[in-house]
Homo-oligomer: A and B are copies of this chain.
Amino acid sequence: MKLLKEKIEKEGEVLSDVVLKVDSFLNHQIDPFLMKEIGDEFAKRYSDQIITKVLTIESSGIAPATFLGLTLGAPVVFARKRKSLTLTDNLYTSKVHSFTKNETNEISVSQKFITADDNVVIIDDFLANGEALKGLIDIVNQAGATIIGAGIVIEKGFQQGGKALREQGLRIESLANIKSLANGKVEFYD
């Protein structure tokens, strides 16, 4: 996605060979127009499928997932990283290790909001080792729902998450796939 790649090139900060900071438009400050374009692009890529639910994880997945949901006319569910006092239903839970934050979180989704009848697309901001995506897939599987595929804003293609999940048959649509962050420079796959 050209607009996204240009934004990454212009505003992304390469903090190391593995860390790209995009907090000016995705992870802290949000560019609403870009988020809308991203949601529309996911909708276009999955326009061959019938999708009944968009699943994401708080917080940075919410904006692109909501625009996708608006275009599809489908509800969006965001998995919680922390327990809520008013979220005490029967929950699907899964453990997710974050290498960036160096901690393991239990993520949860209320059983009410994903059912066996659902066709789910999973949206996330980044795909690196695939830990968050695997946790969300685990939750969809617990619900007995159908996984249509995943939509990723930025994939770090030089890490192994995307490769491993594609080999297991998962459809992944990445809007920007990064080949390398070496020497402080962002290089994309074509």
Contacts and interface: CB of A to CB of B under 8 A. Distances in A.
B27 A84 contact: yes
Given A30-B66, A31-B75, A32-B75, A84 B59 contact: no
Which of A33, A85, A110 has most B Cβ within 10 Å? A85
B76 A110 contact: no
Given A59-B62, A78-B59, A32 B86 contact: no
Interface string A56-89: 0011001101110110011111101000111100
Contacts of A73: 33
A102 B85 contact: yes
A179 interface: no
Which of A24, A66, A74, A75 has its CB near the most chain B CB atoms (within 10 A)? A66
A26 to B, nearest CB: 11
Contacts of A102: 85
Interface stretch (A15-23, A139-147, A155-163, A168-176): A15-23
13 contacts: A15-B86, A24-B113, A25-B75, A28-B84, A28-B110, A29-B77, A29-B110, A32-B69, A32-B70, A36-B70, A58-B59, A63-B66, A84-B101
Interface of A: 15, 19, 21, 23-25, 27-33, 35-36, 58-59, 62-63, 65-67, 69-70, 73-78, 80, 84-87, 100-102, 109-110, 112-113
Given A58-B59, A85-B102, A86-B100, 17 more contacts: A15-B86, A19-B85, A23-B86, A24-B113, A25-B75, A28-B77, A28-B78, A28-B87, A28-B110, A29-B110, A30-B75, A30-B77, A32-B67, A32-B74, A35-B70, A63-B66, A63-B76
